[in-house]
Amino acid sequence: MDVDHCFEHDESLVLIRELVAQIKTYLSAPEINRVVLAFKLSEQAHRHQRRKSGEPYIIHPIAVATILAQMHLDCETIMAALLHDVIEDTDYEKDYLNQEFGKAVAEMVDGVSKLHNLNDKSKTEKTTSKKEVAAASFHKMMLAVTRDIRVIIIKLADRLHNMRTQWFMSVSTRRRKARETLDIYAPIADRLGLGRMRDELIELGFSGYYPFRSRVIRHHLQQYHESHSKAIQQLELQLNQWLEKHHVISAVKFIPQQNYNIYKELRKTFKDTKDSVTFRIIVKDADNCYRALGVIHQLYQPKTAQSVTDHIAIPNANQSQALHSTVVGSKDFKFINIQICTWEMWAFTEFGITVSESHKNTHEWVRNVLSLLNNTSNSLDFFEHIKADLQPNEICIFTSKHEIFTLPKGATIVDFAYALHSDLGDHLVNAKIDGNDVSSLNTILESGQRVELITNPEATPCPEWLNFAVTGRARSHILKFLKKLNREQAIVLGHRLLDHELNRFGKTFDLLNESALNGLLSTFKCKTREDLLVDIGLGDHLAFLVAQQLELKPLAPSCEESTKPLAIRGTEGMVLHFAKCCQPIPQDPIMGFISAGKGILVHTQKCPTLAKQRQLHPENCLRLNWEENLQQTFEVEIRVELMNIPGALASVSQELAERNINIETLSLVRKDGASPELKLNIAVHNRKELATAMRAIYRTSVVHKVYRHRNLV
């Protein structure tokens, strides 16, 4: 189909001819006609638009489509690339593209399109800042990726061309785009095995974020390669001849270092980063990979036993395969890095999922993305989880059934459990590493370990796991559970708080008629009765203000039930907290302070911190007392001044052990040579048990003084 008449700009004409010439090499005539029709619509839609450079906007979609055509992507992907900005930047809508080019193309274009305003019908949550809008756009795109992986490939090509033309952007925009490219898009390209695209994105991101540093390194590296070009050629020839001598048919290629990788190593001197050189050896099959490795090790000695890595038997996270070895080099190079692979392995390393039929790893990555989407409540959290999961430096862990799982470096047993299955993570209680019990679930795993998980159906995730879980999958599942638990606990507490206020009127929440309930929901902008109770339990709405909205007549002041303080059990979970400043325990006189979004913070009545809060927000204070016969323990801090003699600490510990009182933490506060002072956090049931324990400690012959310590200001 002739397209020349569509243009008024010579460069655009050249580019579309190049695109058509490229797709003619692998697409059929009917498919080429569909691509040209998509181009015509795109050209018409962008006819009056210009890029920052002043050139016609159509040049950008043509360039994006050409990048994908060079990777031999299918007809629909090329069409979507040509149309990828039509919905976002013009008046054409998704329904029109669906009608003209089919559902798949329309869905891909919509998936790549950003969100720009709060009224976008694709958007499901409020955003109030550019950062949130960007996160919501990314969230929307990744949701589309879970339905069609081609969406992210189009986005990567779009980002690649934008980075190639980044110098027309403002400095702030260029740096923001460059940082995004380094943190998000280059790692995604790596995860999909798109090595060639990844390398260019990294170099363009580095030059955009640090233009001067990039130029300096590029200049020095170019000088170095020029001065060592003869040595590199001789080494390449030597490797070729040595392999040929041992009947290994191969192609040896020098791999130049990346500027960004050198920059990251510049904590050393620049000379140190140039002590090594890298070659890729490509052979016909996996058997010859191992033969080639043996031949190379006859010529050059491996640096160490650990410097040989078999990524054929254990592929990388993106399923790329090769043998890696670092050998001791010659006089020109201290070390030589060798990568050995087959032609198929090389093609996958360069073009990833676009040449893979199984897409096994892609499906795993997409499943992980889908899990994150299902377990994060907002776009910003999802964006941060994805960033965490895309960090480099990965380890391989074996299950008890000898299956291999890849995790980021620094991952713990909790991360591994959630990587296997969410149920394993939710019910995890312990684990064994290489057959040995571990002391803690925060144990950091090392590559090659075999991990056996121990679970209990009654166990649930702990909030403390968030302190050491590093993968987005683990963190999102833990947060989802805690938020659900927090909501359930908030409903119970909110119900009790509201009933406590309604008692003054002789009412309860459950007995309110439908009209009164609907009025409350409307006033406080809540969809359901549970939402209202959650807001009360978390302190977003005060119970007495909610009760006042009903305009009920209070009972007589003498009514005992209406004047009772709210009784607490200490088991209300994450919606009730005990102040660290005064550490209230049962039998202490207490009062609560309702904090928006956090629930109730319990203080002792004489706490100075509470006194300040009562002056500022008296309406947020709540009368409390303790339930009778509480069984759980509460943490309290005591200080013990000891004699400086052997066995003093053991005497104190023994007194507490005899009374079944657990020491939560222990530390030395000060030591002046005569009277060391211990800081003990112990778990007691009430003030009576605390007093008994303190008297027992004081009666020992090694103690000068013992007292309850409070962090009062």
Domain borders along the chain are 4-214, 215-354, 480-626, 634-708
Assign 146 a pLDDT band (cuts: 50, 70, 90): confident
- Pick 630 or 207 by higher pLDDT: 207
Answer whether CATH 3.40.50.720 is correct for domain 634-708.
Answer: no
Fold type of domain 215-354: Beta Polymerase; domain 2 (3.30.460)
pLDDT tens digits for 681-713?
888 988 899 998 898 888 888 888 899 988 765
**Entry field: residues in the chain:** 713
Mean pLDDT of the chain: 84
Assign 132 a pLDDT band (cuts: 50, 70, 90): confident
* Cα distances (angstroms) measured from residue 280 to each of 15, 323, 504: 33, 10, 81
Supply the DSSP string of 585-598, one letter for each residue: -TTS-EEEEEETTT
Mean pLDDT over residues 209-230, rounded? 88
pLDDT tens digits for 95-118?
999 999 999 999 999 999 876 543
Highest mean pLDDT out of 208-222, 270-284, 509-523, 668-682? 208-222
Q: Where are the beta strands (DSSP E) in 463-589?
A: 566-568, 576-578
The answer to whether 74 is a known catalytic residue is no
Q: Which range has the worst mean pLDDT, 129-143, 292-306, 392-406?
A: 392-406
Catalytic residue among 55, 74, 89, 677: 89
Contacts of 578-581 with CB under 8 Å at 24 or more apart are 578/602, 578/634, 579/603, 579/604, 579/607, 579/609, 579/610, 580/711, 581/607, 581/608, 581/609, 581/710, 581/711, 581/712, 581/713
Q: Which range has the worst mean pLDDT, 393-397, 579-583, 623-627?
A: 393-397
Q: Which range has the worst mean pLDDT, 44-53, 86-95, 430-439, 536-545?
A: 536-545
Buried b (16+ CB within 10 A) or exposed e, 14-49: ebbeebbebbeeebeeebbebbbebbbbbbebbeee
Assign 313 a pLDDT band (cuts: 50, 70, 90): confident
Catalytic residue among 31, 88, 364, 637: 88
Q: Which range has the worst mean pLDDT, 225-234, 533-542, 545-554?
A: 545-554
Domain 4-214 shares a fold with domain 634-708:
no
- Res 352: pLDDT: 82
- Res 271: pLDDT: 52
Q: Percentage of the chain surpassing pLDDT 90? A: 29
pLDDT tens digits for 482-518?
778 778 878 888 888 888 878 777 778 887 888 888 8
Secondary-structure class of domain 4-214 per CATH = mainly alpha
Mean pLDDT over residues 605-629, rounded? 85
Assign 452 a pLDDT band (cuts: 50, 70, 90): very high
Q: Is the pTM of this model over 0.85?
A: no
The answer to whether 89 is a known catalytic residue is yes
